[in-house]
Amino acid sequence: MGEPHKTMQLSGWGRMRPEPCRTYRPERLRDCAPVFSDPTPDTLIARGYGRSYGDAAVNAAGVVDMTRLNRMRSFDPVSGILECESGVSLEEIIDAFLPNGFFLPVTPGTKFVTVGGAIANDVHGKNHHCDGTFSRFVRELELLTASSEVLLCSPESNADIFWATVGGIGLTGCILSAKIQLMRVPSAYISVDYHRCANLDAALAAMEERDGAYPYSVAWVDCLAEGNTLGRSVLMHGRHAEPKDLDRRQADRPYAVQTAHKLPVPFNFPGFFLNSWSVQAFNNWFYNKHPDLEHVIVDYDRFFYPLDSILQWNRMYGKRGFVQYQATMPLEHAAGLTKLLEALSASKRASFLAVLKRFGEQGPGLLSYPFKGYTLALDIPNHGDITQFLRDLDRMVLDHGGRLYLAKDACMSRQSFEAAYPRLSEFRAIKERLDPKGRFSSSMARRLGLTVQKEAEHG
Ligand SMILES: Cc1cc2nc3c(=O)[nH]c(=O)nc-3n(C[C@H](O)[C@H](O)[C@H](O)COP(=O)(O)OP(=O)(O)OC[C@H]3O[C@@H](n4cnc5c(N)ncnc54)[C@H](O)[C@@H]3O)c2cc1C
């Protein structure tokens, strides 16, 4: 009979190719071991809030929803180290600790992400050029492996497993809990400098010149601009605001922020809602609304998580969903970004959201994504022959020495993946040692040839 479960249609945030998945939802950490040792599902994968865009947390045979495992275990206000279960969300951490002056040292562009998901994709934020990825601040994690052992992993102990688990998209085992270093901040506000750039070259030059002076840097890009204005951007540089930067009302309660009222998207919008006309109108408005300005005080929610105020915004792309395409090119091959933008602009596939960032050095995670270069993330609606279009983009990325991000990917081929991740064989060796029968698997893992045995069994 096995452990209690439900069959649910699951996909990634891009809502492409949903699959009926046998889904388990343990309530307590002690319920995890029976679920993972239940032989009925031949493969399993842990899942957080499903904010990865593609199929990293999708697996028809078995998905383990970790979001009920959201207990904080301990917090040391002197060291700033939080120990929590892996289903705790970044939102829950902020709500609990920001009032006491602590914030996340690295955060992605949504706070609806679990600690387990943040580790398994080794997520990055707007401060990657200064602070690296999430794993830099993970002091230790508990990993439930395929042999039902619970291993304590850290950069000092079981270090090889730690660096395979970080960015390892759930394939080394299930992260049960983690110790994370939080960071003290002077307020809940960010002081932002806006700088408009007339085209991509100007944006890259401005990032190179200015990024070093700010912990946070990101650019919004108009993907429909062409010719001399291709890649016109608004560059946003930020740092945590000091109480002296705040107005009186803010300075009285520097950690109390009225978070934005959340608006839901109640149903799937028609597929034509985000077309090149509506997106161009938005882009013109956004570009014109942001002249060069300095020291604009913005609360953390608006700065880090602008999309979180629209619940289920992924429905705006209609029933067929969308992909997010995130490619990083080495600094010396930034010209590849121009090629990507030209291809996107010529295709008239209106990308509502396009974000550019300059990454810092590569970290030690074996499949960890960021490396020194420019990264461009584009939302692309699913219409026409999207697979062929993406394959054409993949070729450009590979030709320029770039790579795609697994947290966003839904379509990459195994060949492209193998060509772009140089430490893959080290990862495979650890996976093989920890999980020789390929118990931890997902649709992404099979697509990319990361669980070869199961792929062969499933034909
Ligand atoms: C609006 C938006 C903005 C984003 N911005 C960024 C960004 O700026 N930077 C960035 O890096 N990413 C970004 N992302 C991607 C997101 O941060 C990652 O996909 C993150 O991993 C999602 O976490 P999740 O809890 O939803 O995990 P899921 O999407 O549910 O799962 C992600 C992976 O983690 C694994 N996993 C989850 N929990 C566990 C566990 N307990 N043990 C082992 N494995 C586990 C899953 O198997 C899967 O492989 C963004 C996503 C959205 C929707």
- The rounded Å distance from CA 13 to ligand 1 centre is 10
Ligand 1 neighbourhood includes 50 CB (under 6 angstroms): yes
Q: Residue 21's closest CA among 448, 442, 457?
A: 442
The predicted structure's pLDDT at residue 350: 72
Residue 166 in tokens: 């970080």
The 3-class secondary structure across 341-409, one letter per residue, is HHHHHHHCCCCCCEEEEEECCCCCCCCCCCCCEEEEEEEEECCCCHHHHHHHHHHHHHHCCCEECCCCC
Antiparallel, parallel or unpaired: β 183-184 and 19-24: unpaired
The predicted structure's pLDDT at residue 314: 83
The predicted structure's pLDDT at residue 459: 39
If you take atom 39 of ligand 1, which residue's CA is the nearest one? Answer: 116
Which residues face 30 on adjacent strands?
Answer: none
Mean pLDDT, 10 residues at a time, the chain of 459 residues: 88 95 96 90 97 98 98 98 98 97 98 98 98 98 97 98 98 98 98 96 96 97 88 96 96 85 68 72 86 96 90 82 94 93 83 90 98 95 89 96 97 97 98 96 97 52
Using the CB atoms, write b or e for 157-168: b if 16+ within 10 Å.
ebeebbbbbbbb
Is the same domain home to 272 and 308? yes
If you take atom 8 of ligand 1, which residue's CA is the nearest one? Answer: 108
Domain-located, residue 210? yes
What distance in Å separates the CA atoms of residue 433 and residue 456, rounded to the nearest whole number? 19
Is the same domain home to 177 and 194? no
Domain-located, residue 1? no
- The rounded Å distance from CA 242 to ligand 1 centre is 31
What distance in Å separates the CA atoms of residue 37 and residue 115, rounded to the nearest whole number? 23
The predicted structure's pLDDT at residue 1: 57
- What is the number of the ligand 1 atom nearest to the C-alpha of 109? 5
Is the same domain home to 121 and 206? no
If you take atom 44 of ligand 1, which residue's CA is the nearest one? Answer: 170
Is the same domain home to 408 and 301? yes
Count how many domains the chain has.
3
Looking at 121, 153, 184, the residue that finishes a domain is 184
If you take atom 5 of ligand 1, which residue's CA is the nearest one? Answer: 109
Q: Which of 10, 55, 123, 435 to probe ligand 1 with, by most ligand atoms within 8 A of CB?
A: 123
Is the same domain home to 250 and 312? yes
Helix (H, G, I), strand (E, B) or coil at 176: strand
How far apart, in Å, are the Cα atoms of 366 and each of 29, 113, 371? 27, 21, 12
CATH number at residue 157: 3.30.465.10
The predicted structure's pLDDT at residue 241: 98
* Chain centroid offset of residue 164 CA: 17
Is the same domain home to 179 and 210? no
Ligand 1 neighbourhood includes 117 CB (under 6 angstroms): yes
What distance in Å separates the CA atoms of residue 150 and residue 145, rounded to the nearest whole number? 6
Q: Residue 416's closest CA among 447, 372, 370?
A: 447
Q: Which of 47, 58, 447 to probe ligand 1 with, by most ligand atoms within 8 A of CB?
A: 47
Ligand 1 neighbourhood includes 47 CB (under 6 angstroms): yes
Is the same domain home to 395 and 428? no
Is the same domain home to 91 and 217? no
Domain-located, residue 419? no
Q: Sheet containing 72-76: which strands, arranged edge to edge?
A: 72-76, 81-85, 174-181, 138-144, 150-153
Ligand 1 neighbourhood includes 175 CB (under 6 angstroms): yes
Antiparallel, parallel or unpaired: β 45-47 and 63-65: parallel
Is the same domain home to 271 and 337? yes
CATH number at residue 231: 3.30.70.2520
Is the same domain home to 175 and 280? no
Ligand 1 neighbourhood includes 109 CB (under 6 angstroms): yes
- The rounded Å distance from CA 388 to ligand 1 centre is 26
Domain that holds residue 231: 189-413
What distance in Å separates the CA atoms of residue 248 and residue 231, rounded to the nearest whole number? 39
- The rounded Å distance from CA 175 to ligand 1 centre is 13
What distance in Å separates the CA atoms of residue 69 and residue 96, rounded to the nearest whole number? 16
- The rounded Å distance from CA 431 to ligand 1 centre is 20
- The rounded Å distance from CA 378 to ligand 1 centre is 17
